[in-house]
Structure 1
Amino acid sequence: MGGRVPLLLHACCGPCSLEPVRLLREEGFEPTILWTNPNIQPLSEHDRRLSTLTTWAREAAQVDVIMAGDDRAAWERVAGPAGFDRRRRCRACYALRLAELCRVAVERGFTHVSTTLVVSPYQLFDDCGEILARLAVAHDLTAVWRDFRSYYPCATQRARELGMYRQCYCGCRFSAAEAALERHEARDERKRSKAAARAEA
């Protein structure tokens, strides 16, 4: 580790871990990845993302992965009732996963914590940061909060080059439905634009 500061990094998937691990190492941290994502549905999707992450961590990044609690019943209890109220659902989801991050950090002797959730421009950046900061203080930990969103295109390109599986929705069944609707609306808009361009020609 060469004097680096140990940091427990919650990871939501492999592609979103690429840039945070690299950048945190450049800052002088040595990340250990924590997997706790009971939101990901169905289980086959959960397992595929986990397999992608652990393969990359072992073979390319040389970063350790800790498997923490994946309490799916707790997710259904605290986040599920919010349904398509995205902000309420995501805040509950963040809180559940980041609380587990902090619990394991204390248990394993880490003093610094962070998350890969903030790579994606589709996440609720400010909400996630506020929740992580609050939980870190409550557990006497230091939250390492960085805005990784500008690196999202780099992460996407690197993931393609590495042949990594990339998901098309955040994780839960509600986000899957929302993403499908957004793709449908975008497709319809492209069709309308093409039709208008032909009409003007």
Structure 2
Amino acid sequence: MAGREGPRPGGRSARVQASVHGAVQALMTRMERAEITIPMIAVEAGVTPSTIYRRWGDIQELLADVAVERLKPDMQPVDTGNGGKDLLAWAEQYAEEMSSKPGREMIRDVLAAQDGGGAYQCCNFTKQQIDVIAARAAGRGEAFPEADAVMDRVVSPIMYRILFGEAPDTAHVARLVSGAMGLVSKAPASV
């Protein structure tokens, strides 16, 4: 969407976005992604193709926008009462969701977009989830690695394997989390 004015929040713009996103998702349940066209989406959404082209530019930008919205977490990470266990539970779920067929497709859509803003948003979604886990751990007086260290030691290797190899199994994810947790002192935090 580089060079285009951003959508106005609320009102007609929000309704159009919701309708178009819904149309994309509905079409994806009925056919292969490669078969979907902007005119098909427009018919399904009840808008003109020019509305879609004006807002998203091309199908790849639209698919990336839909993927970013779908990748937005819809719940807080599980709270086990322990930061390391919270991180492990979150990382296992993250690896499972991202390595699924829909997860891989959404990752590809986000990465294929021209502006790269979707990848930045997805990174922020992930970091926010880690920040929640870190804040809970800090509230309990537990040592917890910096969010950037978790991104580098847990999230990045998971994503690399998903994109360029086989999805990591739970044992591999546990080793990644253990390595990240090993970055912090085992001594209890002073209160």
Same fold (TM over 0.5): no
Structure 2-normalised TM-score? 0.28
Structure scoring higher RCO (CA < 8 A, sep ≥ 6) equals 1
Q: Give the greater-gyration-radius structure (CA).
A: 2
Structure 1 length as normaliser, TM-score? 0.27
More strand by share: 1
